[in-house]
Amino acid sequence: MSSKMASCIFCKIIKGEIPSFKLFESDKTLAFLDINPLSRGHALVIPKFHGEKLTDIPDDQLSEILSVTKKLVKATGATDYNILQNNGAIAHQVVPHVHFHMIPKPNETEGLGIGWPLKAADMDKLKGYYEEVKSKM
Ligand code: 5GP
Ligand code: ZN
């Protein structure tokens, strides 16, 4: 086992070394309540495979994430909600084990607050960028 895995707080939750309110568990997926909820029902869905960022997790280890997230939405009764997955410290990732937040948005003040600074694109630049990325897909 790598030292990163041994010290990982979510790997410890998976192993039961740290207590948590587990809501769903299978061979490759775990869902549990977030300990600092932004709203009632704020929960995390994680692959059991340890990896820091989304691209570190093999596709087959991610296959249940969305269906389990949907189960959480239904179980909490959330009608408005955000699914969020942060990668990297500057992108607000605090725990370096991939996790998907399901955050109910019951009203304006509770849940995730999002500043969304939309700016109209320069269409020539956007097209140039599109060609570049599309060629790598
Ligand atoms: P991030 O900012 O990395 O996307 O979010 C990490 C989340 O993990 C935070 O919402 C934080 O409250 C949650 N968290 C951190 N440590 C623990 C823990 O020990 N138990 C649980 N249940 N959640 C945790
Ligand atoms: Zn881990």
pLDDT of residue 2: 74
Strands (E), 51-119: 81-84, 100-104
Catalytic residue numbers read 99
pLDDT in tens, 4-44: 888 999 999 999 999 999 999 999 999 999 999 999 999 99
pLDDT in tens, 38-64: 999 999 999 999 999 999 999 999 999
pLDDT in tens, 93-136: 999 999 999 999 999 999 999 898 999 999 999 999 999 999 99
Domains along the sequence of the chain with CATH: 3-136 (3.30.428.10)
- Please, which residues have CB within 8 angstroms of residue 54's CB and are 6 or more apart in sequence? 62, 85, 87, 98
Ligand nearest to the CA of 10: 2
Whether 1 has a pLDDT exceeding 70, the answer reads no
With the most atoms of ligand 1 within 8 angstroms of its CB, the residue from 10, 11, 23, 35 to mutate is: 35
Q: Is the CB of 92 under 6 A from ligand 1?
A: yes
At 18, list the tokens: 């740290």
Report how far ligand 1's centroid is from the alpha carbon of 36 (Å): 7
- Please, which residues have CB within 8 angstroms of residue 127's CB and are 6 or more apart in sequence? none
Report how far ligand 2's centroid is from the alpha carbon of 2 (Å): 10
Distance CA 101, CA 116 (A): 18
Report how far ligand 1's centroid is from the alpha carbon of 125 (Å): 38
Q: Is the CB of 36 under 6 A from ligand 1?
A: yes
